[in-house]
């Protein structure tokens, strides 16, 4: 392809959801000095999906990279800190009905060895403490409703994500992008015009404006107007791995002490999120419409939240779970829901958005618009999707619930990637996850610690059996030392409420 950077070229972004405005900010910042012209077109009539309130630490990297301080964006977006995610009722194994998934962080190296030792011993059948929560500082901070930012006397950084109002983040990023020169057109695109070679040439709006461009970024949401509808890039569904295709959303009032974690509770036909913002709690039930009607899902969620008979209005959403075959095709890059979506259990969508946009920018800087550059980029983004999918799928196939067909069929589902099967096999065989994943070159978006938390958190262990006292695995970790270490570390963190006063 002949298009080259740098040059006086024009980029047109279709869609003003979080993906569109993240793309606009990343591109204008990276290419501001190259005379690039960026236009974002969005339709107020269509609107945005309006959900997506939890992030991984990747969002912090994004805001840091564009030079926006937390004190600038967090109060405006009603944002809070997220230490990690608590999973409730996914496992029925006694003692393992709930566990916490922290973000991998430096300070963990002081306790992770003991965690690995005990989970290893427990996999040999030794009776030791092998539930993750007592080993991780972030779990303690979440439990105490403390924020993740330490006082100055504590020289360690603890990884964290955010909770935020998705609509307000979009507004914030829109304002910033426009101030930096991104043109904003509010109109509905009715027709996409192509060149004889099949590239996208222009977008015709309902105001009869023809928006021409050299390169197009499809951020049109689940519609995939450019990448799927126009360019006909095939969509690969993940429905056989992940059954959930719907969600119902209901807000509740915030509590006096603001929570510092996402809570994900297994329900009859899916799971419910609880996301604390500064002005409200966001709640949603992600479920499979093959097992449960939208009315039943809403009733179940209302009952859980004590909102039966209340006038609080629910929003119902459909989800298309899977990914496009190639994210960059011809002169079009797909970012956000248009490129694919993995259900929001680990809040990974904006992670994939940021990775996609910055990988694209870096690829262009290094390889320009070469075929090789594009193929490498598409392979990496696809791998990113597959690796996240494996981790999410593991939550379902390992569940031990027996209360509905939904959970039984999830537990029996054999549509599992080779990669995931290998990880589960390593765990069952009592081998070291980190060593084996490295040696066998099993790529994963998640660290061995994350996998260990998931598998240990579910109590995925054999029965306890007597082992000789001189068995190497029977050496006891002193849990009171671990408890003391975590407790004393936690004294260096203020309450979440205090940390939100900027
Ligand atoms: C139930 C649910 C829960 C989620 N939870 C999380 C979470 O916790 N964490 C997370 O990271 N992500 C989450 N996500 C995903 C997250 O919401 C999205 O990744 C994110 O909001 C980006 O969406 P988007 O910008 O791609 O699409 P959208 O928000 O749908 O935006 C699409 C844009 O395209 C415009 N558009 C479409 N067609 C046209 C047209 N013809 N003409 C003009 N404009 C057009 C629309 O007006 C809109 O501006 C969740 C998603 C769902 C469904």
> 60 catalytic, yes or no?
no
DSSP3 helix / strand / coil % (the chain, rounded to 5) = 40, 20, 40
166 CB within 6 A, ligand 1: yes
pTM, entire model: 0.96
Ligand 1 centroid distance, CA of 474 (Å): 51
CA-closest residue to ligand 1 atom 1? 247
Do 343 and 286 contact (CB within 8 A), yes or no? yes
Q: What is the DSSP string of 179-227?
A: HTT-EEEE--EEEEEE-TTS-EEEEEETTS-EEE-SEEEE--GGG-III
Please identify, in words, the CATH class of the domain defined by 10-74+164-239+321-388. Answer: alpha beta
C-beta of 204 in contact with ligand 1 (< 6 A): no
Which residue's alpha carbon is nearest to atom 27 within ligand 1? 221
Whether the Cβ atoms of residue 352 and residue 385 lie closer than 8 Å to each other: yes
Determine contact, residues 182/40, Cβ cutoff 8 Å: yes
Report CA-CA distances (Å) from 56 to 287, 334, 358: 22, 21, 16
With the most atoms of ligand 1 within 8 angstroms of its CB, the residue from 16, 25, 49 to mutate is 49
Q: Residue whose CA is closest, atom 6 of ligand 1?
A: 52
Domain boundaries defined on the chain: 10-74+164-239+321-388, 102-153+417-495, 246-318
Please state, in angstroms and rounded to a whole number, the distance separating the CA atoms of residues 455 and 459.
Answer: 7
Q: Which two tokens stand for residue 297?
A: 């899902």
Find the 323 Cα to ligand 1 centroid distance in Å. Answer: 14
For a substitution probing ligand 1, which of 13, 46, 162 has the most ligand atoms within 8 Å of its CB? 46
Spatial neighbors of 14 by CB under 8 A, at least 6 apart, are 20, 41, 42, 189, 203, 216, 217, 218, 219, 220, 225, 226
Q: Are 123 and 430 in contact (CB under 8 A)?
A: yes
What single DSSP character describes residue 85? E
How many CB atoms are located within 10 Å of the residue 185 CB? 18
Question: Residue 298 C-alpha to ligand 1 middle, in angstroms?
Answer: 22
How many angstroms separate the CA atoms of 202 and 444, rounded?
39
Q: pLDDT 10s per residue in the chain (502 long)?
A: 445 554 568 999 999 999 999 999 999 999 878 888 999 999 999 999 989 899 999 999 999 999 999 999 999 999 999 999 999 999 999 999 999 999 989 999 999 999 999 999 999 999 999 999 999 999 999 999 999 999 999 999 999 999 999 999 999 999 999 999 999 999 999 999 999 999 999 999 999 999 999 999 999 999 999 999 999 999 999 999 999 999 999 999 999 999 999 999 999 999 999 999 999 999 999 999 999 999 999 999 999 999 999 999 999 999 999 999 999 999 999 999 999 999 999 999 999 999 999 999 999 988 778 899 999 999 999 999 999 999 999 999 999 999 999 999 999 999 999 999 999 999 999 999 999 999 999 988 899 999 999 999 999 999 998 888 777 777 778 999 999 999 999 999 999 999 999 9
State whether the beta carbon of 321 lies less than 6 angstroms from ligand 1: no
Ligand 1 pocket residue status of 336, Cβ below 6 Å: yes
Which residue has tokens 């951020």? Answer: 219
The CA-CA-CA angle for residues 364, 369, 374, to 5°, reads 85
What distance separates the 2 farthest-apart alpha carbons in the chain?
A: 81
């Amino acid at each position: 392809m002949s298009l080259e950077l740098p040059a006086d070229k024009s980029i047109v972004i279709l869609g003003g959801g979080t993906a569109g405005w993240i793309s606009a900010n990343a591109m204008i910042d990276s290419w501001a000095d190259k005379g690039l012209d960026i236009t974002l077109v969005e339709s107020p009539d269509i609107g945005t999906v309006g959900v997506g309130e939890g992030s991984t630490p990747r969002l912090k990297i994004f805001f840091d990279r564009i030079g926006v301080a937390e004190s600038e964006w967090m109060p405006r977006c009603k944002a809070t800190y997220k230490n990690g995610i608590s999973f409730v009722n996914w496992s029925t194994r006694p003692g393992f009905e709930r566990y916490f998934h922290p973000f991998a962080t430096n300070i963990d190296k002081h306790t992770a060895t003991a965690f690995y030792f005990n989970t290893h011993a427990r996999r040999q059948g030794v009776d030791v403490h092998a539930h993750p929560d007592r080993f991780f500082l972030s779990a303690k901070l979440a439990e105490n409703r403390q924020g993740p930012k330490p006082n100055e006397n504590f020289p360690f950084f603890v990884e964290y994500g955010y909770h935020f109002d998705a609509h307000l983040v979009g507004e914030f990023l829109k304002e910033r992008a426009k101030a930096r020169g991104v043109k904003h057109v509010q109109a509905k695109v009715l027709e996409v015009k192509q060149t004889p070679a099949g590239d996208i040439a222009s977008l015709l709006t309902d105001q009869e404006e023809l928006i021409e461009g050299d390169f197009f970024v499809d951020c049109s949401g689940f519609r995939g107007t450019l990448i799927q509808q126009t360019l006909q890039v095939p969509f690969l569904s993940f429905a056989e791995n992940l059954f959930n295709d719907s969600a119902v959303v209901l807000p509740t009032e915030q509590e006096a002490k603001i929570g510092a974690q996402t809570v994900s509770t297994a329900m009859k036909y899916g799971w419910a999120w609880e996301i604390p913002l500064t002005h409200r709690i966001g709640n949603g039930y992600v479920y499979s419409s093959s097992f449960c009607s939208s009315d039943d899902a809403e009733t179940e969620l209302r009952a859980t939240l004590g909102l039966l008979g209340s006038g609080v209005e629910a929003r119902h959403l459909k989800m298309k779970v899977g990914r496009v075959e190639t994210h960059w095709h011809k002169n079009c890059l797909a970012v956000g829901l248009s490129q694919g979506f993995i259900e929001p259990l680990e809040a990974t969508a904006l992670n994939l958005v940021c990775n996609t946009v910055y990988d694209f920018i870096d690829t262009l800087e290094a390889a320009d618009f070469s075929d090789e550059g594009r193929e490498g980029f598409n392979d990496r983004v696809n791998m990113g999707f597959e690796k996240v999918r494996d981790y999410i799928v593991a939550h379902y196939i390992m569940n031990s619930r027996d209360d509905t067909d939904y959970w039984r069929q999830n537990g029996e589902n054999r549509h599992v990637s080779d990669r995931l099967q290998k990880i589960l096999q390593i765990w069952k065989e009592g081998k070291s996850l980190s060593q084996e994943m490295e040696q066998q070159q099993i790529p994963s978006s998640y660290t061995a610690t994350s996998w260990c938390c998931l598998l240990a958190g579910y109590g995925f262990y054999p029965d306890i059996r007597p082992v000789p006292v001189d068995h190497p695995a029977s050496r006891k970790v002193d849990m009171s030392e671990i408890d003391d270490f975590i407790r004393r570390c936690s004294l260096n963190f203020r309450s979440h409420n205090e940390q939100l006063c900027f």
